[in-house]
Chains A and B, each alone.
Chain A
Amino acid sequence: MKKSMLYTGMAYCTAGLCCLAAAVFTETWFDGMFWGMFGALTAPGLLMMWKYFHWSRPEHQEEYARRLEIEQIEMQDERKVMLRDKSGRIVYQIMTGVYCVLIMAFSICSMGGWFMPFSLYAVIGLTVLQVFQWVCGMVAFGWESKRR
């Protein structure tokens, strides 16, 4: 296994410990975030380091090479690439529909004066998200069209 996995794991753990120190030795209104970041960074960091030491052992080399080969085939297999692309498009269409329904629902709430001002912010936020998604889709399509 590449040493970059070990170094990345160590960096994650270091960042996590920094967040722990900030959470313990300071008193701010976002202490909760520091505690959360400590867990979110340290756990994967420790896992990465464990994976490095586990798969670097001589007795695991053959199994690791086999798993790496399978992983590469799964990543490059053309049918699976096609399925991932199609799945992405389906999810894009579903989320577009979900955004439209939510915008309508929160607009009605906003007009009725219910859950204000949350419903108003939700309408604005969801509309911005919907437009951003649409623009990203257009840009990605144009970029891919030029490439191929």
Chain B
Amino acid sequence: MKNRLEELRKERNIRQEELAAALKVSRQTIGSLENGRYNPSIILAFKIAGYFGMSIEEIFIYEEDGEGQERTEK
């Protein structure tokens, strides 16, 4: 899942370590979230959204895969 985590973090001049400490996760988790290798749980997604004062949809971009889009169009 794509996200704007890195973009938002850099806008606010926050280091990965600081964001990790605020969310009570490891720095490696922040790194994996930013490069899309790991998708957060719903609870962590809410915590991230709350930290940035935004909604989940504004941070995480959910894209239907090709199969899902075809079914919707039919």
A interface list, Cβ under 8 A from B: 73-74, 76-80
Contacts and interface: CB of A to CB of B under 8 A. Distances in A.
Interface of B: 20, 24-26, 28-29, 32, 38, 40-41, 44
A77 B44 CA distance: 10
A69 to B, nearest CB: 9
Contacts of B25: 73, 77-79
Contacts of A74: 26
A3 B38 CA distance: 39
B32 A79 contact: yes
A74 B27 CA distance: 10
B24 A73 contact: yes
A78 B24 contact: no
Nearest to B43: A78
B29 A76 contact: no
A78 B30 CA distance: 11
B54 to A, nearest CB: 21
